[in-house]
Structure 1
Amino acid sequence: MENNEKTLWQIVKGYFNALPDKEEEAKTIEQISSGVTFHGANLWVLVFAIFIASLGLNVNSTAVIIGAMLISPLMGPIVGMGLGIGISDLALLKRSIKNYLVATGISVLTATLYFLITPLTEAQSELLARTSPTLYDVLIALCGGAAGILALSTRGSGNVIPGVAIATALMPPLCTAGYGLAMGEPSFFFGAFYLFFINTVFITLATFVGVRMLRFKQKQFIDAARLTTVKRYIIGIVVITMLPAAYMTVQIIRQSVLENNTTRFVRNELSFKGTQIISQKFDMKHKTLNIVAVGKIISKEEITKAEKMLESYNLEDYKLHIIQGSQSDSLLLANQQHSYIVGNAQASQQKLIEQAAQLGEVEQQLNAYQQYATLTKEVRTELKAVCPSAKSISISRVTEAKTDTAASQEYVMAVVNCPRALSSPDRQRLQEWLKARTKSDSLRVIVTSF
């Protein structure tokens, strides 16, 4: 039985053994060492990559950000640090740290300069995504660093490096840090820089572990005590870096679970015919779940029954507070119809509910109008890539009423101003892009030349 288990382990080990694919150590070390230093063309590539990434964040273009990550040389000194620790080469480690600090400083300064002079200062979703690092970013950096050192050290794995550059995302956090400095937003700067530091530390750690597992020969180091001290510092940095990310991840998971449980509770226990739940919010301080309902009043018996079910959704620590009837009407109309409510205090509850419903319809129409106004501003920066000759664009929702019938039709209409007529393929491409961008099943494009 023992021999069978051993044989099975040898078979599995043989499949996952990367040592036979290992390149010559000297060649790998030379390749990594050559990518550590930033000067001349390498430095210019870094500056241009930062500008490209900043532009991508500015116009919220994922494709542009990915392009910047692919051409960025920032991985060089980070992998160099991991290799230096792994083979006990303190000279390589010092050179990598020095060039890493230089590259980081130049990157942040370049991004800051860009965001100081750009007219577009709004923080887009791609930029905001780089301000709140979590434990998942630690895992991504570890896996990316491990894949990177394996690709550099073995034959036939060259296509892995671009993927590692995209997955670990070193450029966007530095650009976001520059945005924080330019806009005077400390939370943006520290959040993004922490994400960049997480990537640095754990790519370095993964490289170190990979070098040791691939059995790179260590340099003879006379001062063993100094090497031990360096390794202790590294372990301390890894632990200190991971703790805040772990805490933030736990908080995010807890909040997500809480919101999911609340949604299920409301859907299953507070769904009554004629009643609409329009808001559900937590009061963490007072441990209260506030529900705003309009329409048919939820009875005390139904509320008591729902309260007993809180434990089934892991919400036993929260008290249920349902705002309904005149309370909910007052809450909904406080901003828009305050003067009307004061002047008509004797109005019936049913009248207020009807007005709340009308107000909801008006809000929906207003949100739809604002949605297409915002969308128009967003797509104008992307339009040039699809239709270079376009001068302007306007997007809105249109209701078309027939003169010979009572039926009407709603659709999204886009008016594009071009100085010259578009060919059929160009018009078709523009139509398909706008349809996908507006997420509309029914869209009409009108091309004008005035």
Structure 2
Amino acid sequence: MENNNKKSVKDEIKRIFSLSEDSASNEEIRSRLLDGGKITGTNMCVLVCAMVIASVGLNVSSTAVIIGAMLISPLMGSILASAYAAIASDYPLLRKHLLGFAMQIVISVTAATIYFLLSPVKEPTVELLARTSPAFFDVLIAFFGGLAGIIGQTRQDKTSTVIPGVAIATALMPPLCTCGYAIANARFDMLLGAGYLFLINCYFIFMSAGIILSVLKIPKMRELTPKEWKRRRFRMIVNTIIIILPSIAAVYTMI
């Protein structure tokens, strides 16, 4: 009797935290993620507008303006689309979305650099400086923000408010704007810190999205051999350690 009770409690916990019960179909998930990662003229125009708005917010130290810019930014869609392509073992699609994401980064930094070159305010504000000292806490924010984002995108319910919240939490745009400020004002010490923060956000959003998509067992173009899986896991562990180590060191310098 006691074993049956333990089993029922365990089953109930599994049911409560089940992702597959409320997930959309594989076709719907694929469509949502890949559509969100498309590089279109409209997205690029919105991206430039968002970068200028975020740059102004950082330049005048206005948190409300920065949040507004993050809500309209299309950057996160490219990361989720790339994660889908990687888990689906669709490498041509992965290259396509990674190239598109690289193009978005170049356009974003260029727009921010032009703004800060023209801006009369040259001194770094508190908001700008806050994006130049990433620590392990930023890793946690990016990872769990990515989890929330991909779960929100794979739900049956299309009215989810998770994505705007994730946009605020993971803050992909401010680090890129700070990179633009650093280039415009030859502050390469700030460029290094802001670039590292952006890398943390991108990598851990990508990784957390990949984990959830693997759990949901999305269809693959081809199944990997055990040797290929082992090599992929090893590469992911090594990359994670390399990226995370400086952030851990930063925490200890704060203590």
Q: What TM-score results when the alignment is normalised by the length of structure 1?
A: 0.54
Q: Which amino acid aligns with 2:56?
A: L
The answer to whether structure 1 residue 99 and structure 2 residue 100 are counterparts is yes
| Residue-by-residue CA offset, 1:320-352 (whole Å, 9 max, x unaligned) | xxxxxxxxxxxxxxxxxxxxxxxxxxxxxxxxx
Q: Structure 1 pair 101/111, CA: closer, same or farther in 2 (3 Å)?
A: same
| Residue-by-residue CA offset, 1:163-197 (whole Å, 9 max, x unaligned) | 00010000000000110111111111010010000
| Residue-by-residue CA offset, 1:340-374 (whole Å, 9 max, x unaligned) | xxxxxxxxxxxxxxxxxxxxxxxxxxxxxxxxxxx
Q: CA deviation at 1:158?
A: 2.0
Q: Which amino acid aligns with 2:134?
A: P
1:251 aligned residue: 253
The answer to whether structure 1 residue 171 and structure 2 residue 173 are counterparts is yes
The answer to whether structure 1 residue 215 and structure 2 residue 180 are counterparts is no
Q: Structure 1 pair 24/140, CA: closer, same or farther in 2 (3 Å)?
A: same
Alpha-carbon distance between aligned partners in 2 of 1:91 and 1:227, rounded to the nearest angstrom? 19
Alpha-carbon distance between aligned partners in 2 of 1:245 and 1:227, rounded to the nearest angstrom? 28
3-state SS in 2 of match to 1:154: coil
Q: Structure 1 pair 224/40, CA: closer, same or farther in 2 (3 Å)?
A: farther
Give the number of the structure whose residues are more often helix, by fraction: 2
Write out aligned runs for 1:317-328 (5 A): none
Q: Which amino acid aligns with 1:128?
A: L
The answer to whether structure 1 residue 20 and structure 2 residue 24 are counterparts is no
Alpha-carbon distance between aligned partners in 1 of 2:234 and 2:81, rounded to the nearest angstrom? 19
Alpha-carbon distance between aligned partners in 1 of 2:197 and 2:141, rounded to the nearest angstrom? 11
Alpha-carbon distance between aligned partners in 1 of 2:246 and 2:73, rounded to the nearest angstrom? 27
Alpha-carbon distance between aligned partners in 2 of 1:77 and 1:232, rounded to the nearest angstrom? 25
Q: Which amino acid aligns with 2:212?
A: G
3-state SS in 2 of match to 1:132: coil
Alpha-carbon distance between aligned partners in 1 of 2:165 and 2:190, rounded to the nearest angstrom? 26
Q: CA deviation at 1:118?
A: 0.7
Q: State whether residues 36 and 95 of structure 1, in contact with CA within 8 Å, keep that contact through their aligned partners in structure 2.
A: no
| Residue-by-residue CA offset, 1:36-89 (whole Å, 9 max, x unaligned) | 232311111111110000000011111110010000000011111221222222
1:47 aligned residue: 48
Q: CA deviation at 1:228?
A: 5.7
1:129 aligned residue: 130
2:69 aligned residue: 68
Work out the number of aligned pairs and report it.
253
The answer to whether structure 1 residue 31 and structure 2 residue 36 are counterparts is no
Q: Tell me which structure has the larger Cα radius of gyration.
A: 1
Alpha-carbon distance between aligned partners in 2 of 1:222 and 1:7, rounded to the nearest angstrom? 35
1:109 aligned residue: 110
Give the number of the structure whose residues are more often strand, by fraction: 1
Q: CA deviation at 1:13?
A: 1.4
Compute the RMSD of aligned alpha carbons.
1.8
Q: Give the one of 202, 223, 233 matched to 2:235.
A: 233
Q: Which amino acid aligns with 2:196?
A: Y
Q: CA deviation at 1:105?
A: 1.2
Q: CA deviation at 1:116?
A: 0.6
Q: Structure 1 pair 191/67, CA: closer, same or farther in 2 (3 Å)?
A: same
1:311 aligned residue: none
Q: CA deviation at 1:224?
A: 7.6
Q: Which amino acid aligns with 2:5?
A: N
Q: State whether residues 108 and 177 of structure 1, in contact with CA within 8 Å, keep that contact through their aligned partners in structure 2.
A: yes
| Residue-by-residue CA offset, 1:126-169 (whole Å, 9 max, x unaligned) | 11110000000000001110001101101225211100001000
Q: Structure 1 pair 117/224, CA: closer, same or farther in 2 (3 Å)?
A: farther
Q: CA deviation at 1:233?
A: 3.3
Q: Structure 1 pair 126/222, CA: closer, same or farther in 2 (3 Å)?
A: closer
Identity %: 41
| Residue-by-residue CA offset, 1:188-246 (whole Å, 9 max, x unaligned) | 10100100000000000000011112222222257886676555433322221111111
The answer to whether structure 1 residue 158 and structure 2 residue 160 are counterparts is yes
2:6 aligned residue: 5
Q: Structure 1 pair 9/228, CA: closer, same or farther in 2 (3 Å)?
A: closer
Unaligned runs of 5+ in 2: none
Return the structure number with greater relative CO, CA threshold 8 A, min gap 6: 2
Q: What TM-score results when the alignment is normalised by the length of structure 2?
A: 0.93
Alpha-carbon distance between aligned partners in 1 of 2:148 and 2:86, rounded to the nearest angstrom? 18
Q: CA deviation at 1:7?
A: 1.3
Alpha-carbon distance between aligned partners in 1 of 2:230 and 2:110, rounded to the nearest angstrom? 35
Q: Structure 1 pair 148/82, CA: closer, same or farther in 2 (3 Å)?
A: same
Q: CA deviation at 1:94?
A: 1.2
Alpha-carbon distance between aligned partners in 2 of 1:74 and 1:228, rounded to the nearest angstrom? 31
Q: CA deviation at 1:5?
A: 1.3
Alpha-carbon distance between aligned partners in 1 of 2:238 and 2:93, rounded to the nearest angstrom? 21
Alpha-carbon distance between aligned partners in 1 of 2:178 and 2:80, rounded to the nearest angstrom? 23
Q: CA deviation at 1:125?
A: 0.8
